[in-house]
Amino acid sequence: MLPFAAKYNQKQCFAVAAKPLFNAAGRWNVSFIGRNSEVTKVIGEFKQTGTKLTGTFLTSTGDYRYLEGIVSGDSLMLSGFDGRHAFLFTARFTDDKTLVNGKFYSGATATECWVATRNGSIKLPDGYAQTRLQDGESKLNFAFTSLDGTKVSINDDRFTNKVVVVP
């Protein structure tokens, strides 16, 4: 269970301790570092007005929805909740182009580290290119073991000349 507290008519959820030393507005090349040192590349896109920070993290399959928070001194905090997912992102600026010591908290237990560098021209990979067949392939070809332990293949006779939806 994730602890939660709310105060009536409070305009922001984080207290500002100091005037912002940096402006986070713009696009950032972000690397999330997983438990096994696996790196996931995303784009941070932020707007900052005074201490108020809004934005999201863009991935090739979607985004982290609307995030809101603050920049206070050399640190930022962003959070979001969509009714199912609770997110908290924290990081520290080393200069106007670098964020370090990032922590991403998802729910009550999931945590990842992250770092970022400012890059206004960064773009995501083409999502359609990620779903194309590899060179030399003429059709989708896969197999898996079903929940009852039997092997299922897209090449099984039962799928011949039928529309197959692959979620």
72-90: per-residue pLDDT in tens? 999 999 999 888 888 999 9
Domain boundaries, the chain: 26-118
The answer to whether 16 and 73 have CB atoms below 8 angstroms apart is: no
- The list of the chain residues with pLDDT below 70 reads 1-4, 130
Facing residues of 28 across strands?
Answer: 44, 118
pTM over 0.85: no
Distant-in-sequence contacts of 58-64, Cβ < 8 A, 24+ apart: 58/124, 59/124, 60/124, 60/125, 60/127, 60/130, 61/127
pLDDT, position 4: 67
pLDDT, position 22: 97
Name the 3-class secondary structure at 129: helix
C-alpha 69/C-alpha 118 separation (Å) is 19
CATH 2.40.128.120 is held by the domain 26-118: yes
